[in-house]
């Protein structure tokens, strides 16, 4: 993560070791904060505490995570041994990296309105460069979206939260025959992604951009079942559960649902834990940043924490 990350702080709810350590670190963090300010680096104490707590979450994840040789479910073993190890085609790597570079170097200012629980630090006008650094799908997660699309070959893909379209392009190149419906509430960002992604795609007619809120899209456009759903927007736990509930009629037994930033905040982590308990999803996979939900009614309900 970089200094400008918009993750909200995860606060331990029980007074265990994690809570005690964070309390003990508060004074040293205050000192580090003053030192950073002295050298002209803006970095809040709360953000420093957040980093420490997120590090605890990562340590807990690493302790629980299993490699593919410790997984006994054939379906999940295949995911860990094939999907997670999928290699991108060189031409696809070039396309994705080319698009990323174009975004990273783009200083064009566009109107920005945050419809979710995103960063409040930046003003209404933001450069493409800033939006890319703040909210674009990471390279690691982009590779995973590509791999999921390539391995499972979905016919219909739904994406909530287009942003600049990095995740969209990754899924598209994984399977360019798939029909992608991607939804973005910010009109200018939606238009930018639509106009700029085409030069890097293979079948641009298969990518359909919708300027709408997620609720509006659900009410007015949903009419088919999706094989792959990627939810990367709003970043509020209650909202995520609400969208999942609304999407139930449009998923089938093998639909793969990918939830981004499941540890972005307390509410997101709580919502993820609620998803794990839901009986509709017999396979749930924790990859630290991503959470995957798959109905697979023929399989015994199991939760897996997989090292990635």
Strands 251-259 and 291-294: antiparallel
pLDDT recorded at residue 193: 97
- Plot region of 101 (φ>0 → left; ψ -120 to 50 → alpha; else → beta): alpha
Q: Could you give the maximum distance between any two Cα atoms of the chain, in Å?
A: 60
- Predicted TM-score (pTM) of the model is 0.85
pLDDT in tens, 272-294: 999 999 999 999 999 999 999 99
Fold held by 68-305: Rossmann fold (3.40.50)
The helix, strand and coil proportions of the chain, stated in percent and rounded to the nearest 5, come to 50, 15, 35
Alpha carbon of residue 40 to chain centroid: 32
How far is the CA of 67 from the CAs of 151, 285, 302, in angstroms?
Answer: 19, 13, 16
pLDDT in tens, 21-62: 555 555 555 555 455 555 544 455 566 666 677 788 888 999
C-alpha 5/C-alpha 135 separation (Å) is 8
pLDDT recorded at residue 5: 42
Helix (H, G, I), strand (E, B) or coil at 122: coil
pLDDT recorded at residue 121: 47
Domain boundaries, the chain: 17-64, 68-305
C-alpha 182/C-alpha 168 separation (Å) is 7
pLDDT recorded at residue 109: 94
Q: At what angle do helices 90-104 and 139-152 cross, to 10 degrees?
A: 140
pLDDT recorded at residue 287: 98
Q: Which helix (H) or strand (E) holds 127?
A: strand 125-127
Which long-range CB contacts under 8 A does 53-61 form with residues at least 24 apart? Answer: 53/9, 53/10, 53/11, 53/12, 53/18, 53/22, 54/1, 54/7, 54/10, 54/263, 56/12, 56/18, 56/21, 56/22, 57/10, 57/263, 57/288, 58/288, 61/286, 61/288, 61/305
pLDDT recorded at residue 115: 61
**pLDDT tens sequence for the chain (308 residues):** 333 344 455 555 555 655 555 555 555 555 554 555 555 444 555 666 666 777 888 889 999 999 999 999 999 999 999 999 999 999 999 999 999 999 999 999 998 776 655 544 445 789 999 999 988 999 999 999 999 999 999 999 999 999 999 999 999 999 999 999 999 999 999 999 999 998 999 999 999 999 999 999 999 999 999 999 999 988 899 999 999 999 999 999 999 999 999 998 889 999 999 999 999 999 999 999 999 999 999 999 999 999 99
C-alpha 96/C-alpha 169 separation (Å) is 7
pLDDT recorded at residue 1: 32
Q: Where are the alpha helices (DSSP H) in the chain?
A: 17-38, 45-64, 74-78, 90-104, 128-135, 139-152, 166-174, 187-197, 214-220, 237-247, 266-277
């Amino acid at each position: 993560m970089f200094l400008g990350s918009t993750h909200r702080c995860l606060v331990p709810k029980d007074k265990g070791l994690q809570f005690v350590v964070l309390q003990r670190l508060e004074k040293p963090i205050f000192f580090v904060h003053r030192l950073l300010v002295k050298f002209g680096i803006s970095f809040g104490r709360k953000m420093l505490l957040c980093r420490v707590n997120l590090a605890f979450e990562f340590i807990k994840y690493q302790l629980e995570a299993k490699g593919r040789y410790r997984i006994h479910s054939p379906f999940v073993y295949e995911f860990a041994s094939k999907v997670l190890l999928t290699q991108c085609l060189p031409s696809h790597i070039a396309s994705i990296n080319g698009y990323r570079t174009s975004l990273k170097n783009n200083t064009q200012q566009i109107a920005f309105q945050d419809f979710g629980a995103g960063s409040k630090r930046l003003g209404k006008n933001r450069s493409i460069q800033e939006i890319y650094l703040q909210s674009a799908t990471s390279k690691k997660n982009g590779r995973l979206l590509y791999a999921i699309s390539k391995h499972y070959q979905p016919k219909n893909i739904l994406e909530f939260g287009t942003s600049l379209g990095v995740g969209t392009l990754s899924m598209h190149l994984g399977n360019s025959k798939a029909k992608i419906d991607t939804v973005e509430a910010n009109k200018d960002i939606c238009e930018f992604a639509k106009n700029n992604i085409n030069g890097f795609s293979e079948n641009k007619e298969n990518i359909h951009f919708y300027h709408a809120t997620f609720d509006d899209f659900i009410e007015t456009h949903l009419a088919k079942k999706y094989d792959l759903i990627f939810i990367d927007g709003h970043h509020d736990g209650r909202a995520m559960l609400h969208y999942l509930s609304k999407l139930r009629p449009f998923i089938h037994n093998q639909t793969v649902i990918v939830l981004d930033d499941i540890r972005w905040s307390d509410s997101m982590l709580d919502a993820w834990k609620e998803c794990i308990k839901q009986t509709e999803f017999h396979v749930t996979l924790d990859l630290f940043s991503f959470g995957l939900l798959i109905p697979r009614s023929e399989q015994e309900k199991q939760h897996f924490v997989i090292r990635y």
